Structure 1
Amino acid sequence: MSTRPVIAILGAGAAGTLTALHLVRESGRRSTPVEILLVDPADRWGRGTAFGTPDEQHLLNVPAAGMSALPEDPSHFLHWLQDQQPDVHAFTFAGRRTYGRYLDEQLTAAVRDVLVDTTVRHVRATVTDVRRDGARVRLGHPGAPDGLLADAVVVAVGLPATGDDWAPDALRDSPFFVGDPWAPGALDPVRRDRTGPADVLVVGTGLTAVDVLFSLAGGRPDRRLRAISRSGELPSQHADRLKPAAIPDISAWGSGLDQIRAAVEQHLAEVANTTGDWRPALDGLRFRVAELWQRLPEEDRATFLTRDAATWNRLRHRLPRESHDRLDALVAAGEVVLEAARVTDAEPLPRGGLRITTTDGAVREVGWVVNCTGPRADVRTLGNPLLDDLLRPRLDGALAITTTAGMGLATRDGRLVDDRGRADAPLWTLGALRRGELWESTAVPEIRQQALALAVGVLEAVAPLPRRLADGTWVPGHHPVARPRDPLGLPLSTTAEAAASFNAGLERLMRLQSGAEELFAEAAALDPDFALAHAALALLGHEASADTDVTSSLAAARRAARVNADDRERSLVSVVGLRVREPRRAGADALRRHIAAYPRDVLAVSAAVPTIAFSGVIDVQQDVWALVENLAPAYGDHWWYISLLAFVRQDQARYDEAALLAESALSCEPSSGHAVHALTHVHYETGQHETGRAWLDHWIEAGGRSASHRAHFAWHAALHELALGDVEAVRRRFARQLADVTGVRGLVDTASLLWRWQVAATDWDAGLAAPPTAAPVLASVDAQLLGKPETPFIALHAAVAHAANHDPESLDSLGARCRRSRDEASRSAVAPVCRGLAAVLREDWSTAIDELSAALPGLAAINSSLIRA
């Protein structure tokens, strides 16, 4: 008898298949074999209502770039599609049927390739009742008297029942009423009809109606397709190309519908004004909509559903331009008519068909009426035996309760909440059944994230990984006194209170937000024996010029490591000590060895990879790429890792992949500074200067308000303006966002902008004012950074700062120091840059060309934005 945990997934459409896929993949990563049952009467998994259509005319309403099943590989579906159709691109809208095949193939391949004994079995049945059986769940269905016994159950049935409450009884009971256009063969009689009234009335003008209109168009020459709805409006159309989402800062948007509505309208207007398009604003809201929805009281949610939901759906769930243009052509030809009306009455016609009366006073004779109003909103009225059973009263309480007008089931992070407020039954749900608590929860981009989180949560519940106690003892995963852990699951040798502060600081560091050092200091104060907190302070002080006492923090870390630390923590303390003493040799080697042993140590990886925050330890760009890419098994699809990978991809000039990875990371964590940085480079390197400037301006003022490196993003925006020749915009930005920046950021960002500004804008004699002097900027920078920089990264920026200050003598001095350095990059790259820039200032053009040309081969090793941007 198998001892593997059994996980039953009820529903094998997109939500169920994605859940099974991520369960298979996660079970392999954790070396935890499980038995997965996909319970659905359908003949294949991966289809469901959305992707089971046989009509190739029915297109996805999300471009290929957004339809990957794997959050860590947002190009996955696109590449799969390109293997079959090489001419498709990121903004191609594939067929729904094609996507169903993609899901089918991915699950099949995952089961084939998984390295543990994980299996997926398709059980063709409909579960009608659920009951707890000790710690497990027993599922009843016709044909199985004893039911199925499972350790965990995922309810992924979606909302298959269409709503027809709007229809008069005479219409609902008519054989000429198609109540569910997605039922197999439902539209076939309509297509074949050649004897009844020619016209067809389509009730609804949303995405379902568009698919039905395409399926019925051209079938009968005398037929007109009349589509009606309250507004008579079609969904909006997508733009002609992908545009980055403008994610708003919603911290001050309030919690009432009126406040949020006003803020949304302002956000739409501001983005439309800066980018010329409202769509990036809507796409950015998608990442915040669940949080906004959860702020609303129930009465405001009800108001939104009646007053705002239809408008939101038209703007949010858009049509591909191809579909929109085709529909326009059908309307222009008179084959499709769009009207604002509702059905008020229906009566049968003697020769078949129906006489329909609508609110606009029109009386129409039609052969058929097709219901395209979408699924019923209230799960209590679906007539679904499974959902009815979950909601039914029991002696120990109903297993589930509904939320917000019955739109879905209440959960705690996807785990069902019962009518006593508990979430202890091994029951989970996702997708459409979470609309009541998330609002947006039916599209693949949302469902794939839920499926992944749910897979991790289910496996942690049924087969938790072992944990280690402070004394080194390994205990089962649910042991009550296991040590606290960091955001990546690594144990921490400290108290729960200190761990909470440390983790909050680590998360700020991961997002490139300010305030990390204060939280690390708070953790150290809460637990003076917490070695990692002290080590983090020392590392930030040394590497990122944080306002900390590096020497005393390092001493405290060493003392604490002797008192209370595990092997990883002691290793990191040792690494930080070596980094402070000799960052480019012993420190770099020790950091590499530590990461090899502890790849999920975020603090160590952050210090190793050259980004805005850290200069890194690797001099060869390809080695940086290898370091990050080799971390994939340790991180999977974690947003922080995807953000770093996006930066690597833009370094490799794989710009489409970098953009998709950045967007995927931002969909999980809108404040990810690394993802924003990667997307910023993509815009610059691909010449999207207007788009890049507008997007960055929005981010700096919204999500970037708490960023610890806002000056660097402002610098990038100014580069776009220089590329556009808008020198006055650069001047305004410099005064507003860069002139008062001091310290390392003043050196790296402000001074280097002044030099670029001087080089790029040379027509001062045309009446244009010269750039500001660099002297005040250099006065705010530590003299040690300018004269005796410790790394080639800082030395290169010091050279540029001296050039911006028109100081060839300081360049001579810095160049001489770099020539004596033991660091190869300083000798081979920075020293000739110093000589070359000094020659430029002296107008010795021949020497300048020779020296700067000699420096070029070694510059890439320094990993500076001066070279990359």
Structure 2
Amino acid sequence: MTIVGGGAAGTLTAIHLIRAAARRETALTVVLIDPADRCGRGVAFGATEDQHLLNVPASGMSALPEEPGHFVAWRARNSFDTSGGPTAFVPRRQFGLYLEDLLAEAERAADGLVVVQHRRTRAVGVRRQASSVAVTTSEGDEIVADAVVVATGLPEAGAAWAPPALADSPFFVPDPWAPGAVDTIRRDRVGPADVLLVGTGLTAVDLVLSLTGKGSRPDRSVLAVSRKGRLPRVHLAEPKLAAIPDVAGWGSDLDTLQEDVRRYVEAVAAAGGDWRPAVDGIRFRVATLWERLGEDDRARFLTGPAGEWNWLRHRMAPSSAVVLRELRAVERLTVEQGEVVGAEPLTGGGLRVRLSGGTEREVGWVVNCTGPQADIRLLGNAFLDGLLRPRASGALASVASAGLGLRTEHGRLIDEAGSTEAPIWTLGSLRRGELWESTAVPEIRTQAVGLASAILDEVAPLPRRLEDGRLVSGHHPIARPRDPLGMPLSTTAEAAAAYNAGLERILRLQDGGEDLIREATLADPGFALAHAALAMLGYEAGAHTDVRVSLDAAIEAVGRRGDSRETSFVGTVANRIDGSRALGSSSLMAHIATYPRDVLAVSAAVPTIAFSGVTDVQREAWDLVDGLAPSYGDHWWYISLLAFVRQDQGKFEEAGLLAESALSCEPSSGHAVHAQTHVMYETGQHEEGRVWLDHWVAESGRSASHRAHFSWHAALHELALGDTEAVRRRYYSQLAPPTVTGVRGLVDAASLIWRWRIAVADWDRATGGLGLPPAFEGEGAPPPIEAVLAGVDENLILAPQTPFIAVHAAIALAAQGEVPLLERLRVHCARADDRTTRTVVVPICDAFIAVTEQRWSDAATLFGELLPALVKVGGSAAQREVIEETLLFCLVQSGRADEAISVLGGRLDRRPSPLDLRRRNAFGRLAAGR
């Protein structure tokens, strides 16, 4: 395995190849060809000066998608300054050190299974052999490999704009990143002090900082010119979450797309107060939009709108902006619109430069900051030229979009004949022609992960199982189709395609997954796994299917055709449906222990927005998800699930980073959005959370299942802000029946009405006995609960099957004031097999009966005693909080003001909340009156 290029792209590829090979227990030799002394540097991260900063916060620079805080943690372990926290913009050189360290760590962890060789030379040629590729070095050696990755990084700087007299001058620096280039300028004390920078982008920002900082001439000023005459925009000091659009309805020509982008950026800025989240969100959709454009539109974009996009997209660190602003204030930095039209040497060194506006400037040096050469055919790179060189059998590669990069199929080079037979891949900047956005670490990291799997599947595929159960070589031509996680499927290719599409929709929490799986059973009536999946989805998640018919079909089909995994899954589903809760849970856990990558089984086992799970003990659920890490690694669905676990553990910063990492790979991941929503609520980001969540539901989440639950979350933010009119509008538009019925009506709509009533609508009446001034004067009553309960099956309320549903049934019945029905629910729970239902839910029923009978002190005492055990019923902290809210209301009603103040204080210690602050302040005025 040979990687040409040892910068960030090549090193990230090597890291992920090593990690993937170690997980598969596949022996591998990785040869990195790069003349640099150390890996991980390249142009971007070979900077040695601390003022040259990353233009992405440290939290966005992890090399490992499944550990988004990895770079931040590495910096802390290595005693770098961490005062700015995860959102700090840190020196670029640190990231180069990080990649080098991580590469060495990955090799050590492989424990001899993988060997890394760094050949300090240049690759200058390439030729295809029968089943391999030979790379020629500048010394004339050939390195033969089963696969080659072209990771040459950003192209060299382009200086075709320079007039001949300037281009030939020793005082012109065509490449500011060439070794020693900046040092030469800094040492110069003879010629004119001033320096002209041509280009005003991020390269110019770095050069200004270098040439005016420590060790520079005190009399030096810098003039920066460009066609637009403007510096890069600035990152927010506190980054906001990306607002990712749904671009399905956007245009397919440049003019229409420009209008769509403009309208979208304006809408996001109007809703959230800033344009940056919109631009950051569009970044995740750029490849999709770029693919829609024809070659003429792409060429037109490159000569016009590309500059505007880059100006918005590539921003500088806030601290750099402060320094540049100060330099401009004292006239050591001037930024102007213009172009260089001529130059002549000065007798004492330096240049007299003529600018397009007619002005002349005498400068010691002119530095090219215009960025890389766009067309790779003009670089003069021997290795790339070798890939593109005409041959008898055709060139090994072909260019994309005016030479911006190479054509590929998911990173594998497409040759002149349109074939991907040659085992050659590429990533990063060489994919700009087909992706446009392909130079930042987050994109390169994702590509490196994908290449690692693709290459190993090609050169060392795992064994595969045939339909008759035989284990064969991974290259066997008739091996069975596989699901998205690589599990074999005993069905036809057509049925597998429908099943996989449905499974992916379920993983994303999107509607229509069961319909696609039903299509799979129609395409292949003998597809046991699809029948079993339908039965499980109907039983576990309320999908519209005949559970008994689907289960019987699965049992019959698996007896005729099914491997051990499929047989186990069908048996597990049968135990879940026909057996006791304990048997169903133990059977599912045993199946997962044997087949951890059976993603549908894992989905059913973990308590989430979609499934109740197999355990009521948080720790067990956490351990289950953490234990799956070796099986899933960097898969976006697993990262989404891990994000939800981390927020459940109160690790909100890590949870947020995990959710962002998952969404960068799959913007429609409902699990990641759910986790991020909880993070925002629990950390008191109510206004930002409401805006961001509303945006996601309207855009990428338009096809999301459980939309009512996301609306409930947004309503909680509004309630915490004290904006009950917004809650009312949301309820009637998104949560009221018939839009929301069944379990979502019980869990989301009914609980919201109860919380609304006791937190706001009835609060002033309750506090009146304490002599408190009104906190919510003029507030109207919440919507009636009766309409919600009319859309919920009676058995769900009076004979719930889980402790979580039983608690919400008690809440709804209390809101209705139905003591007899609460008593019926209590009897059902007292007879339940489940211990949590008997020991926790029964006292909760007693407490709500006391509430309904207005025995406030009794209810408060019961709720207070139950709070520590409440976690056993399942659900999230935000869902269980309704019990604490009810406790608070009961304390107020019973005159126990000091205890109520303590509860409010504890809530405010956990997170900011305008609603809680408003209520506590009312108590403060009472205390002052005493």
Q: TM-score, normalised by structure 2?
A: 0.92
Find out whether 1:571 has 2:571 as its counterpart: no
Whether the 8 Å contact between 2:803 and 2:874 is mirrored in structure 1 is no
Aligned-partner Cα distance in 2 for 1:368–1:379: 28
Q: For 1:611, which of 595, 598, 608 is the aligned residue?
A: 608
How far off its partner does 1:841 sit?
2.3
How far off its partner does 1:345 sit?
1.0
Find out whether 1:395 has 2:392 as its counterpart: yes
Aligned-partner Cα distance in 2 for 1:713–1:639: 20
Root-mean-square deviation (Å): 1.2
Cα deviations across residues 543-574 of structure 1 (Å, max 9, x unaligned)?
A: 11111111111111111111111111111111
Whether the 8 Å contact between 1:65 and 1:74 is mirrored in structure 2 is yes
Whether the 8 Å contact between 1:128 and 1:140 is mirrored in structure 2 is yes
How far off its partner does 1:584 sit?
2.3
Corresponding residue SS for 1:611: coil
How far off its partner does 1:472 sit?
0.9
Residue in structure 2 matched with residue 4 of structure 1 by the alignment: none
Aligned-partner Cα distance in 2 for 1:316–1:863: 42
Find out whether 1:220 has 2:217 as its counterpart: yes
Question: Percent sequence identity over matched residues?
Answer: 59
Cα deviations across residues 680-727 of structure 1 (Å, max 9, x unaligned)?
A: 000000000011000001001001110011100000000000000000
Whether the 8 Å contact between 1:81 and 1:88 is mirrored in structure 2 is no
Aligned-partner Cα distance in 2 for 1:682–1:497: 40
Find out whether 1:176 has 2:187 as its counterpart: no
Aligned-partner Cα distance in 2 for 1:761–1:268: 36
Find out whether 1:27 has 2:26 as its counterpart: no
Q: For 2:102, which of 93, 96, 106 is the aligned residue?
A: 106
Residue in structure 2 matched with residue 760 of structure 1 by the alignment: 759
Residue in structure 1 matched with residue 455 of structure 2 by the alignment: 458
Cα deviations across residues 325-365 of structure 1 (Å, max 9, x unaligned)?
A: 11111111111111111111111112211111111221111
Corresponding residue SS for 1:703: coil
Residue in structure 2 matched with residue 133 of structure 1 by the alignment: 129
Q: Which runs of 5+ in 2 are unaligned?
A: 766-775, 883-930
Residue in structure 2 matched with residue 347 of structure 1 by the alignment: 344
Q: For 1:821, which of 820, 827, 832 is the aligned residue?
A: 832
Cα deviations across residues 778-801 of structure 1 (Å, max 9, x unaligned)?
A: 101111101111111211111122
Whether the 8 Å contact between 1:825 and 1:858 is mirrored in structure 2 is no
Q: Which moved more, 1:805-814 or 1:96-105?
A: 805-814
Residue in structure 1 matched with residue 181 of structure 2 by the alignment: 186
Find out whether 1:71 has 2:68 as its counterpart: no
The one-letter code matched in structure 2 to 1:758 is R
Alignment of 1:212-251 (within 5 A): 212-218=207-213, 219-251=216-248
Alignment of 1:808-847 (within 5 A): 808-847=819-858
Find out whether 1:799 has 2:810 as its counterpart: yes
Aligned-partner Cα distance in 2 for 1:725–1:234: 41
Whether the 8 Å contact between 1:747 and 1:801 is mirrored in structure 2 is yes
Residue in structure 1 matched with residue 927 of structure 2 by the alignment: none
Aligned-partner Cα distance in 2 for 1:172–1:316: 30
The one-letter code matched in structure 2 to 1:745 is R
Aligned-partner Cα distance in 1 for 2:105–2:706: 42
The one-letter code matched in structure 1 to 2:170 is P
How far off its partner does 1:583 sit?
5.3
The one-letter code matched in structure 1 to 2:125 is D
Aligned-partner Cα distance in 1 for 2:673–2:488: 30
How far off its partner does 1:189 sit?
2.0
How far off its partner does 1:282 sit?
1.2
The one-letter code matched in structure 1 to 2:163 is P
The one-letter code matched in structure 2 to 1:161 is E
Corresponding residue SS for 2:37: coil
Residue in structure 2 matched with residue 867 of structure 1 by the alignment: 880
Aligned-partner Cα distance in 1 for 2:254–2:697: 26
The one-letter code matched in structure 2 to 1:757 is W
Whether the 8 Å contact between 1:583 and 1:617 is mirrored in structure 2 is no
Corresponding residue SS for 2:451: helix
Q: Which moved more, 1:628-637 or 1:846-855?
A: 846-855
Q: For 1:319, which of 302, 316, 319 is the aligned residue?
A: 316
Find out whether 1:90 has 2:86 as its counterpart: yes
Aligned-partner Cα distance in 2 for 1:172–1:119: 45
Aligned-partner Cα distance in 1 for 2:121–2:192: 40
Residue in structure 1 matched with residue 544 of structure 2 by the alignment: 547
Aligned-partner Cα distance in 2 for 1:736–1:824: 39
Aligned-partner Cα distance in 2 for 1:105–1:448: 16
Residue in structure 1 matched with residue 921 of structure 2 by the alignment: none
Q: For 2:201, which of 194, 199, 206 is the aligned residue?
A: 206
Cα deviations across residues 727-773 of structure 1 (Å, max 9, x unaligned)?
A: 00000000111112111111111111111111221358832221010
Corresponding residue SS for 2:342: strand
Alignment of 1:105-504 (within 5 A): 105-115=101-111, 117-145=113-141, 147-218=142-213, 219-504=216-501
Corresponding residue SS for 1:344: strand
Aligned-partner Cα distance in 2 for 1:711–1:257: 36
Corresponding residue SS for 1:166: coil
Corresponding residue SS for 1:235: coil
Alignment of 1:696-735 (within 5 A): 696-735=693-732
Alignment of 1:650-661 (within 5 A): 650-661=647-658
Find out whether 1:528 has 2:525 as its counterpart: yes
Aligned-partner Cα distance in 1 for 2:444–2:38: 19
Residue in structure 1 matched with residue 771 of structure 2 by the alignment: none
Find out whether 1:46 has 2:40 as its counterpart: yes
Corresponding residue SS for 2:437: coil
The one-letter code matched in structure 1 to 2:205 is V
Aligned-partner Cα distance in 2 for 1:41–1:677: 46
How far off its partner does 1:185 sit?
0.2
The one-letter code matched in structure 1 to 2:116 is V
Cα deviations across residues 481-531 of structure 1 (Å, max 9, x unaligned)?
A: 101111000001111111111111110110000111111111111111111
How far off its partner does 1:38 sit?
0.4
Aligned-partner Cα distance in 1 for 2:667–2:838: 40
Whether the 8 Å contact between 2:155 and 2:376 is mirrored in structure 1 is no
Aligned-partner Cα distance in 2 for 1:689–1:823: 36
How far off its partner does 1:173 sit?
0.5
Q: Which runs of 5+ in 1 are unaligned?
A: 1-6
The one-letter code matched in structure 2 to 1:111 is E
Q: How many residues align structurally?
A: 862
Residue in structure 1 matched with residue 922 of structure 2 by the alignment: none
Aligned-partner Cα distance in 2 for 1:419–1:78: 43
The one-letter code matched in structure 2 to 1:668 is C
After superposition, the Cα gap between the structure-2 partners of 1:583 and 1:166, relative to the gap in structure 1 and judged at 3 Å, is: farther
Aligned-partner Cα distance in 1 for 2:326–2:843: 64
How far off its partner does 1:834 sit?
1.6
The one-letter code matched in structure 2 to 1:760 is A
How far off its partner does 1:856 sit?
2.1
How far off its partner does 1:257 sit?
1.3
Corresponding residue SS for 2:361: strand
Corresponding residue SS for 1:90: helix
Cα deviations across residues 645-680 of structure 1 (Å, max 9, x unaligned)?
A: 000000010001000000000011000000000000
How far off its partner does 1:444 sit?
0.5
Corresponding residue SS for 1:144: coil
Aligned-partner Cα distance in 2 for 1:862–1:520: 32
Aligned-partner Cα distance in 2 for 1:117–1:789: 53
Cα deviations across residues 614-651 of structure 1 (Å, max 9, x unaligned)?
A: 01111110110000000000000000000000000000
Whether the 8 Å contact between 2:498 and 2:519 is mirrored in structure 1 is yes
Q: TM-score, normalised by structure 1?
A: 0.98
Aligned-partner Cα distance in 2 for 1:369–1:794: 71
